């Protein structure tokens, strides 16, 4: 009877229409039926919550946590909260941004004095630029005069990778050490032409020891395969003989004379710029102008047929350690 009384009391709480006339089994069944929808609702809620969180992707638990952390970080940043999330002390605010002096003020006194002679907004003629280059050299030694030409080419294209040689009428002012790797029959002619090093097997013995005491290496076509094993030694230094540069030649004596009298190689770099030294400050304006004109004549003849429009973008001249002088684009 006590069990039935307890069941009736529980049924009354659930609002069920049962009485003492009903059996214990009937009351229990009514209570179970009344509690089943509530349990099912809880289970359904849990299943829906599990479905909202995916195993991977943007709806995964990890992704949701990262988004919440990012939002929290942005909120702290907007609020100016610099304290650590781990509870560390608040960091000190940053001071004012350091003042960086202009590049010209960071140069030496001699450079600054030389730069005052040049107007940055002015494009000088070739003759005027050569005159200024002689006056604006801050070096105590006999500085080189260099020409820098930015081209409208893509060096990655084979037909636009400019590389050739030019004979400067007044030379470069540098002492060129020439080495010749050729058969014994050509040794005498090479020596008479002014070659500093001449040899075959003895020359290879020097390369085996990685001894390089020359600026230009000239080789005959039949001896080129023997230099293949030294490509990693000579290539990065720009000393590997190449037909385009005239350092692979059958007439060794002629190649040596050209190298000694001022035949130089120039090529475009990755930034599509050609750099070339056209002589020394001591040459004087007339000789430097002649060398520069020979270079520009050679460069103009190298314009690829695929280039439409201007071949040269800009021209500048400078001495070693000296300021840059902008030149009017007379090539186009």
Of the candidates 158, 168, 156, 174, which has an alpha carbon nearest to the alpha carbon of residue 265? 168
Q: Classify the phi-psi angles of 279: left when phi > 0, otherwise alpha if psi is within -120 to 50, otherwise beta.
A: left
Residues 276-304 as b/e (b if ≥16 CB within 10 A, e otherwise) read bbbbbbebeeebbbbbbebbbebbeebbb
Residue 326 is inside which H or E element, if any? Answer: strand 325-327
Residue 276 has a pLDDT of: 92
Predicted confidence at residue 25, as pLDDT, reads 72
The stretches of the chain forming alpha helices (DSSP H) are 2-14, 24-52, 61-79, 109-115, 126-135, 187-192, 201-208, 231-234, 252-261, 285-300
pLDDT at 245: 79
pLDDT of residue 274: 94
**Pair 270, 155: CB distance under 8 Å:** yes
DSSP state letter for 26 = H
Averaged over successive runs of 10 residues, the pLDDT of the chain (332 residues) comes to 70 71 73 62 49 70 85 82 60 74 83 87 91 88 92 90 88 86 89 88 88 89 89 88 85 87 86 92 90 92 88 92 90 79
Return the pLDDT at 262. 77
Q: Does the predicted model carry a pTM greater than 0.75?
A: no
Cα–Cα distance for residue pair 105/253, rounded to 1 Å: 51
Q: Give the integer Cα–Cα distance in Å for 270 and 7.
A: 93
Cα separation of 40 and 33, whole Å? 11
CATH H-level superfamily of 107-172+264-332: Ribosomal protein L1/L10, rRNA-binding domain (3.30.190.20)
Parse the chain into domains and list their residue ranges. Answer: 2-75, 107-172+264-332, 177-261
Strand pairing class (144-151; 312-319): antiparallel
d(CA 63, CA 53): 10
Nearest CA to 195 out of 256, 265, 247 is that of 256
- Quick one: pLDDT at residue 43? 46
| Homologous superfamily of domain range 177-261 | Ribosomal protein L1/L10, domain II (3.40.50.790)
pLDDT of 87 reads 55
């Amino acid at each position: 009877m006590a069990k039935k009384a307890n069941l009736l009391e529980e049924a009354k709480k659930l609002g069920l229409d049962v009485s003492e006339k009903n059996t214990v089994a009937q009351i229990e069944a009514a209570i179970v039926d009344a509690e089943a929808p509530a349990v099912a609702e809880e289970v359904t809620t849990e299943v829906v919550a599990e479905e909202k969180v995916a195993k991977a992707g943007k709806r995964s638990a990890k992704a949701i946590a990262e988004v919440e952390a990012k939002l929290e970080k942005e909120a702290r940043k907007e609020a100016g909260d610099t304290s650590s999330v781990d509870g560390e002390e608040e960091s000190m605010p940053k001071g004012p941004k350091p003042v960086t002096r202009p590049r010209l003020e960071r140069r030496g006194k001699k450079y600054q004095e030389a730069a005052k002679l040049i107007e940055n907004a002015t494009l000088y003629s070739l003759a005027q630029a050569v005159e200024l280059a002689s006056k604006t050299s801050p070096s105590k030694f006999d500085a080189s005069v260099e020409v820098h030409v930015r081209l409208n080419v893509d060096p990655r294209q084979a037909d636009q990778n400019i590389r050739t040689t030019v004979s400067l009428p007044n030379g470069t002012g540098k002492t060129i050490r020439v080495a010749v790797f050729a058969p014994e029959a050509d040794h005498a002619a090479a020596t008479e032409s002014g070659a500093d090093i001449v040899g075959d097997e003895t020359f290879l013995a020097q390369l085996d020891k990685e001894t390089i005491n020359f600026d230009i290496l000239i080789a005959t076509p039949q001896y080129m395969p023997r230099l293949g094993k030294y490509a990693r030694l000579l290539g990065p230094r720009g000393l590997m003989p190449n037909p385009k540069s005239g350092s692979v030649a059958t007439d060794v004596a002629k190649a040596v004379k050209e190298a000694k009298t001022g035949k130089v190689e120039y090529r475009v770099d990755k930034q599509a710029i050609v750099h070339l030294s056209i002589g020394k400050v001591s040459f004087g304006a007339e000789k430097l102008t002649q060398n520069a004109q020979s270079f520009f004549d050679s460069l103009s003849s190298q314009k690829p047929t695929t280039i439409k429009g201007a071949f040269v973008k800009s021209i500048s001249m400078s001495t070693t350690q000296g300021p840059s002088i902008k030149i009017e684009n007379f090539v186009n």
